[in-house]
Homo-oligomer: A and B are copies of this chain.
Amino acid sequence: MLKPLGDRVVIELVESEEKTASGIVLPDSAKEKPQEGKVIAVGSGRVTENGERVALEVSEGNTIIFSKYAGTEVKFEGKEYLILRESDILAVIS
């Protein structure tokens, strides 16, 4: 298992698809959009200058939207993950 440090999260990419009006699924070619991911593991949070650790707002299982180009790709036990800082996460989809 990967346990991220500080304010980091480990995510799996969620492939997004788009349907045309007629329902045909087309692969997404818009490269500039933020991406979706699923949170696999969360860190224990950053420590403020006051010495307090701030728990993350996201938790395991959340589906999130994050800034494209953010994070570092990691391959672990044959699967691809991305390790992001929470500040690169824009929103949680609920």
Chain A residues proximal to chain B, CB less than 8 Å: 1-6, 8, 10, 32-34, 41, 44, 47-52, 54, 57-58, 65, 67, 72-76, 83, 86-87, 89-94
B74 near A90: Cβ-Cβ < 8 Å: yes
| Contact (Cβ within 8 A) A5 B76 | no
Asked if residues B54 and A91 are in contact (CB atoms below 8 Å), the reply is: no
Known contacts A49-B50, A72-B67: does B90 contact A58 (CB below 8 Å)? no
Task: Given contact pairs A6-B86, A33-B74, A44-B57, enumerate 6 new A-B contacts (beta carbons under 8 Å).
Answer: A1-B93, A2-B92, A10-B91, A48-B49, A50-B50, A65-B74
| Complex contact B72–A93 (CB within 8 A) | no
